[in-house]
Amino acid sequence: MENKTSSEAPFWNPYLAGIVLGLVLLGSFVVMGNGLGGSGAANRVAIGAAHIVAPQAVENNAYMGPMVAPGQHILDDWLVWEVLGVFLGGALAAYSAGRMKLVLLRGPRATVASRLVMAILGGLVMGVAARLARGCTSGQALTGGAALAAGSWVFMFAVFGGGYMVAPLLRRYWK
C-alpha cells in the first residue's frame, strides 16, 4: 500500500526515523532555544501578500496589524527560513530516494477533482486551526510535546481525536 516502485528507496523504519527526528528537534532546542514549526511561515507569507493587496485592512486588523507594524518585516522570522529549509530538505530527500515526480497522490477511489478540492479545504481548516491553537502539528504537538507543555499535549490528543472522529465519514475517499 505504500505505492513503492522498484527504483524508490524504502522509507526509514518509523522508530528509527522518529529518533532521528527527535534529535533534529533536540538540536533545534539546544542551538536556537526553540522548536520547529510548519504553519507560522504560511501565516506570515499570507499576511505579507495580503498587506500588499490591502494594506489598510491588514494594518487595522487586531490580529495581523502588530505583525506589519513599522520597523519590522513580516517575512523576517525564524519560521519563514525554517520552512524554506523544510522545502529544500524535502526536495533533497525525495529526489535522492527517486520519489520526486509531479503527481496527485490520492485514495484509490478518489477523483482528481475531489482530491484538489479536499486538499484546499483541508488546508483552509488547518490554517484557521493552527492560528487558533498558536501552532500546528510541528509547532504544538511535536515541539510542545517534547517540551512537556501541558496545552500542547491537549492539542496533540485533540488532533488525533478530531481525525478519528471524521475519518469514518471519509473512508470511501481514502480507502
Q: Which of 22, 55, 56, 74 binds another protein (CB under 8 A)?
A: 22
Residues that bind another protein (rule: CB under 8 A) add up to a total of 135
Q: Which residues contact 4 (CB under 8 A, 6 or more apart)?
A: 10
We find the least distance from the C-beta atom of residue 52 to another protein, in angstroms, to be 13
Q: Which of 92, 109, 111, 172 binds another protein (CB under 8 A)?
A: 92
We find the least distance from the C-beta atom of residue 117 to another protein, in angstroms, to be 9
Give the three cell numbers for residue 165. Answer: 472522529
CA 143/CA 136 separation, integer angstroms: 10
CA 28/CA 36 separation, integer angstroms: 7
Q: Which residues contact 77 (CB under 8 A, 6 or more apart)?
A: 40, 41, 44
Give the three cell numbers for residue 28. Answer: 533545534
Q: Which of 89, 109, 111, 172 binds another protein (CB under 8 A)?
A: 89
We find the least distance from the C-beta atom of residue 175 to another protein, in angstroms, to be 6
Give the three cell numbers for residue 113. Answer: 477533482
Which residues, 28 to 87, sit near another protein by CB under 8 A?
Answer: 28-39, 42-43, 45-47, 49-50, 57-58, 61-64, 66, 69-71, 76, 78-79, 81-87
Q: Which residues contact 133 (CB under 8 A, 6 or more apart)?
A: 140, 155
Closer Cβ to another protein, 55 or 175, answer by number: 175
We find the least distance from the C-beta atom of residue 114 to another protein, in angstroms, to be 11
Q: Which of 52, 109, 111, 171 binds another protein (CB under 8 A)?
A: 171
Q: Which residues contact 129 (CB under 8 A, 6 or more apart)?
A: 136
CA 113/CA 111 separation, integer angstroms: 5
Q: Which of 18, 111, 113, 172 binds another protein (CB under 8 A)?
A: 18
Identify residue 18 by its one-letter amino acid code: G
We find the least distance from the C-beta atom of residue 83 to another protein, in angstroms, to be 6
Which residues, 103 to 162, sit near another protein by CB under 8 A?
Answer: 103-107, 115-116, 118-162
